[in-house]
Structure 1
Amino acid sequence: MLAVDTPEQAAAEQQIDALATLCKASADPLRLQVLRVLSRDSFGVSELCNLFDMRQPALSHHLKVLAGAGLVATRREGNSIFYRRSELGQRPELEALQQQIFRTVDQVELPEALRDNLSALQRQREENSRTFFHHNAHKFREQQDLIASYEQYADTVAQVLRDAPLQRFDSALEVGPGDGAFLRELAPRFQRVIALDNAAAMLERAQTTAAKADLDNIRFIHGDTGSSELDGLQADCIVINMVLHHTPEPRQILQDVARYLAPGGVLLLTDLCQHDQGWARENCGDLWLGFEPADLTAWARSAGLDDIASVFLAQRNGFQIQVRLFGRH
């Protein structure tokens, strides 16, 4: 008679196979470089081909191996597939090994040529975003309304702000204030407000809104979250409403703003949940098709912030908005 594996033996064999797959996938210099690059961002296949100066069939093979081992996850955006590191492996018993691989590879410095390619890609992403808003500032509300109009989430965001466990109301920072609508909520509640935007045309619209509402405690800064004009800022509240999906490095934005948050302060973040409506890239200037809530939580935690509260708003057009409140621990 043929021996029949017991359930325990079958499970052990599956575990050994999974371990072998994980070890094989991580035993290639190029694949380790890919994991290193994916540590802070997600990239489309064509972007990765440009970064590594490789043809797509060759790189796709390596990505398939990484995905098969559970080291990378994919998401489809229109006709494109984007890759990111998978923080949770396919098998819980191998998660510790996977995390150790990530931690080890993250300590390795990227080659200069690859760093240059990454910088060039980020500059192109930023330029694409600025160009879109420069040419479409006059249509801001119209473009925004295609997905989620301000009125659909404004009351909820304002209520989360009112319920936030704040002890001080000295200063607030809004990153990407758009046409300035939420400044009307911030200015009466805080002694000083900073409105920061890297698109001059949008900052002008926010200034016009503030002037019409007689809001005279707002300082307007043309720049990004790395601006030297923010040095030394300790804000009691930082607001980022529907901005991250327009930015090339959302995780870095959270790292930046966490430096400006005072002890006991809160970060109020509103953005789209992940979706598959690729048309939003061309029509609305979106660089990301929303975010998984778990990704925002992980990025905030790595920036030293705790998850305080979350509200999810379903839209009639199928989109979902997440309103998140994080605090400094």
Structure 2
Amino acid sequence: MEPLLTQLRAAAEPTRLRLLALCARGAFCVSELCAILGQSQPRLSRHLKLLVEAGLLERLPEGANAYFQVGHDGALARQLLARLPEDDATIAADRRASARIAAERARVASESFRRHGADWDEMRALGLPAPAIEAALIKLVPKRVARAVDIGTGTGKLLDVLAPRADAVLGLDASREMLALARARLAERDMAHASVRLADMYRLPLPDAGFDLATLQMVLHYAEDPQAALAEAARVLKPEGLLVVIDLAPHERSDLLTGLAHRWPGFDDAALAGWLGAAGCAPLPPVEVAGPLAVRLWPARRLAAPVAALSETSLNF
């Protein structure tokens, strides 16, 4: 009973209720929340601290900054917010202000990206058939999952594909610039059940067995240690959860290794099957999508046995 009472007490204050309403629609940092609510940083920081301690908000560190959002398990917060009248003037004003903040965030992120020469999409740059690849992915993904994670999400394009099939979807990336654009994408599409956060694919800030679906699209060819990246992706999957790797098949384009800093010239089925097996996953038949460079989708099911146990047995193969 006490945790429930703590959450109710934390929400029972006008400013904190406004903060919940905002952070249920997307992730905001303290300075953005100050601009939206027109209140001082020390005051809002105290309110945010109470909401985080009560478990109503998640605090996501990102370098020297931190973003706040209603967590995927924030059932009570969403129930309380559902009782707010749609025509409440204060909440409506906050939403308009948050939309302006999101638009400005997107503009700054885009300008920064262009200045650094990274305003491009790898699929488009390589002339790959993105619609066909996304269609192939949709055929592999269950019609409904509870939680999905896209590792190396970049600007969050794959979140658009996964969001209609997941109750909650999370994008992870090691680039703050990429995440800034991804947040702008989510705000533009009003995808309240999708979020992004800063993360290293070798050390995901996620619990074991928390997701039903994990994807890595055009990520593995940058990895120094693909096997370690796949093992970490498998760790966060529930038993029978689905892992889908989307990447280039073997090729002889040396310019991709030098010009685009690819670490690997594509992957063959045997290598992926070995790494997936060592990670505690059962590989499923791969799917190939033709194009200027062949792209393959390697799906695999997470087995119920611990990864450590599977790693030991794999030494006997």
- Is 1:234 the equivalent of 2:210? yes
**Helix, strand or coil at the partner of 2:121:** helix
* Post-superposition CA distance 1:70-118 (Å, at most 9, x none): xxxxxxxxxxxxxxxxxxxxxxxxxxxxxxxxxxxxxxxxxxxxxxxxx
* Post-superposition CA distance 1:13-71 (Å, at most 9, x none): xxxxxxxxxxxxxxxxxxxxxxxxxxxxxxxxxxxxxxxxxxxxxxxxxxxxxxxxxxx
The CA RMSD measured in Å over matched residues stands at 2.4
Q: Distance in 2 between matches of 1:196 and 1:233?
A: 16
Q: AA paired with 1:139? A: W
Q: AA paired with 1:220? A: V
Is the Cα contact below 8 Å between 1:203 and 1:222 reproduced in 2? Answer: yes
1:187 aligns to what? 163
**Helix, strand or coil at the partner of 1:285:** coil
Q: Distance in 1 between matches of 2:139 and 2:224?
A: 29
- Is 1:328 the equivalent of 2:302? yes
Is the Cα contact below 8 Å between 1:133 and 1:199 reproduced in 2? Answer: no
**Helix, strand or coil at the partner of 2:184:** helix
* Post-superposition CA distance 1:252-286 (Å, at most 9, x none): 10111111010110001111011110111233331
Once the two structures are TM-superposed, the CA of residue 196 in structure 1 deviates from its matched residue by 0.5
**Helix, strand or coil at the partner of 2:285:** strand
Once the two structures are TM-superposed, the CA of residue 233 in structure 1 deviates from its matched residue by 5.1
2:120 aligns to what? 139
Is the Cα contact below 8 Å between 1:242 and 1:272 reproduced in 2? Answer: yes
**Helix, strand or coil at the partner of 2:284:** strand
2:288 to 302, 312, 322: 312
Q: AA paired with 1:140? A: D
Q: AA paired with 1:325? A: P
Is the Cα contact below 8 Å between 1:187 and 1:218 reproduced in 2? Answer: yes
TM-score between both structures, scaled by the size of structure 2: 0.56
2:172 to 193, 196, 207: 196
- Is 1:156 the equivalent of 2:136? yes
Closer, same or farther: CA 243–136 of 1 in aligned 2, 3 Å: farther
Closer, same or farther: CA 134–154 of 1 in aligned 2, 3 Å: farther
Aligned length: 191
Once the two structures are TM-superposed, the CA of residue 175 in structure 1 deviates from its matched residue by 0.4
Q: Distance in 1 between matches of 2:115 and 2:138?
A: 28
Once the two structures are TM-superposed, the CA of residue 228 in structure 1 deviates from its matched residue by 5.7
1:248 aligns to what? 224
Q: Distance in 1 between matches of 2:127 and 2:206?
A: 31
Q: Distance in 2 between matches of 1:323 and 1:291?
A: 11
Q: AA paired with 1:272? A: L
**Helix, strand or coil at the partner of 1:240:** strand
Closer, same or farther: CA 153–293 of 1 in aligned 2, 3 Å: same
**Helix, strand or coil at the partner of 1:173:** strand
TM-score between both structures, scaled by the size of structure 1: 0.54
Is the radius of gyration larger for structure 1 or structure 2?
1
Once the two structures are TM-superposed, the CA of residue 147 in structure 1 deviates from its matched residue by 4.8
Matches within 5 A, 1:1-329: 135-141=116-122, 144-162=124-142, 169-227=145-203, 229-232=205-208, 234-315=210-291, 317=292, 319-329=293-303
Once the two structures are TM-superposed, the CA of residue 138 in structure 1 deviates from its matched residue by 1.0
Question: Could you list the runs of 5+ residues in structure 1 that have no partner in the other structure?
Answer: 1-131
Q: Distance in 2 between matches of 1:134 and 1:265?
A: 40
Once the two structures are TM-superposed, the CA of residue 180 in structure 1 deviates from its matched residue by 1.5
Q: AA paired with 1:265? A: G
Is the Cα contact below 8 Å between 2:269 and 2:286 reproduced in 1? Answer: no
**Helix, strand or coil at the partner of 2:171:** strand
* Post-superposition CA distance 1:130-189 (Å, at most 9, x none): xx9994431235x743252523412111222147xxxx7211110011221211122222
